[in-house]
Amino acid sequence: MQFSSFSFIFVADTHGYVDDFLKQKDMIALVNPEYVLVEQLEDVVCDSHESYQRALANEKFAHIHSLLRLCAKRGIRAIGMDFKDFGLSPALLEVIRGQRQLTQEDEHALQDVMMRREKLHLSVIRKYQGKTKKPLVICVGAWHVRPEAAVMRLLSQYCVVYPCDSQGILLIEPLVAPSEVRWAYRVQQ
């Protein structure tokens, strides 16, 4: 597959139950982008030695240190494409962390946050698309690369690289037997 012919290369992130970095590294090596957009980097922009050092010193980003080091080494700008704390209020963060029960009000608030995040993701993608002729590598949670997700419906010229089970079904939660995880590709022209 000729990855450089796409405008966007989405690499679905499992947020830790698969070593996503290996696939991120492969795709970055294949397309040598100017920008890597990273959901897990929240609203932080790494575009200088100092900004990379600050992000690498922040334990909040420990799970993406390998990706940040790779980008810094290759002179690629790593761009956060989400809100600080993913737009979650302190109360919603407690729900996410399992510290309190989800209420109906919380459910509505979560739906609102997800819609705002999708709009922001799309806005950041379009902003950086206009700044480069190279494909953007975009590392987002697997949830955001479902075919029905807003970003997937509103963009074209992309390839999605995603973890799947043995039947090719996108993984949005861990498998019982992690050894059965495979990687697949979906293309939209």
Tell me if 167 is assigned to some domain.
Answer: yes
Tell me if 104 is assigned to some domain.
Answer: no
Whose CA is closest to 65, among 88, 81, 46, 48? 46
Tell me if 100 is assigned to some domain.
Answer: no
Confidence of residue 166 (pLDDT cuts 50, 70, 90): confident
Residue 175 scores a pLDDT above 90: no
Tell me if 102 is assigned to some domain.
Answer: no
Total domain count, the chain:
1
Tell me if 97 is assigned to some domain.
Answer: no
Tell me if 99 is assigned to some domain.
Answer: no
Residue 15 scores a pLDDT above 90: no
Tell me if 8 is assigned to some domain.
Answer: yes
* Angle, CA of 112, 113 and 119, to the nearest 5°: 95
Per-residue pLDDT tens for 71-109? 999 999 999 999 999 999 999 999 988 899 999 999 999
Tell me if 131 is assigned to some domain.
Answer: yes
**pLDDT at 178 (0 to 100):** 59
**pLDDT at 137 (0 to 100):** 98
H/E stretch holding 143 reads none
Q: Which two tokens stand for residue 83?
A: 């809100």
**Residue ranges making up the domain that contains 142:** 3-82+114-188
Q: In what order do the strands lie in the sheet with 77-80?
A: 45-46, 77-80, 35-38, 136-141, 8-13, 158-164, 182-188
pTM of the predicted protein model: 0.94
